[in-house]
A = this chain, B = another copy of it.
């Protein structure tokens, strides 16, 4: 299973693969730890870290462990892709979170997954908390399902071709047939529900955000514990979320 690298800078690839280790929800790493994780030689790892440290891409914390540095934060904020989506979603998301008092997420479909571009967290103690910039499975989240439902038939069939439907709870949809039925229903209703399909006790509701050409470009979801998510609230939640979606759409349509 050798990777084919036509003619690329291997040490640059190594450097970034090293940084990607930090996706593992672990903020601080030692040299040997990283060497083990990446499979690189101890010296190579050390040299890479020294290089990255000289650039402020990583830095040492008080325990002399390596953590990601502020230069990376700086560079990440320069990324222009979907910047308008991120900017325009910010205030509407805060408003929704304030009204509903649950965590609100904003995301797009990318590489057959949901990419979270923004969020506004509930101030309650018991809440959902997702990392912006992280990915989640589409077929078992309200956000993912609503994005799929309003996508083209081609994209959906491509999705089903590439993604394995794995069960996380007894509610997870694990057959293509059932997922297609669900997506069809979502498209009719105009919103998607995740009734504990990814995690027990977790319920989400999501609606799409459209561009000028009526194509789905993003989605908004509200997530909370089943204890607080009563079916009689769905309608009022929906109207609040829709108001936010319309505000984002208004900005987007003006922008382009």
Contact = CB atoms under 8 A, between A and B. Distances in A.
Interface string A1-39: 000011111011101100110110001100000000000
Given A75-B76, A79-B72, A91-B123, A11 B11 contact: yes
Given A22-B75, A48-B9, A80 B55 contact: no
Interface stretch (A126-134, A142-150, A232-240): A126-134
Interface of A: 5-9, 11-13, 15-16, 19-20, 22-23, 27-28, 47-48, 50-52, 54-55, 57, 59, 67-82, 90-91, 94, 110, 115, 121, 123, 131-134
18 contacts: A5-B54, A9-B15, A11-B12, A12-B52, A12-B55, A27-B78, A28-B80, A59-B81, A67-B79, A70-B110, A72-B75, A73-B76, A74-B134, A77-B132, A77-B134, A78-B131, A78-B133, A90-B121
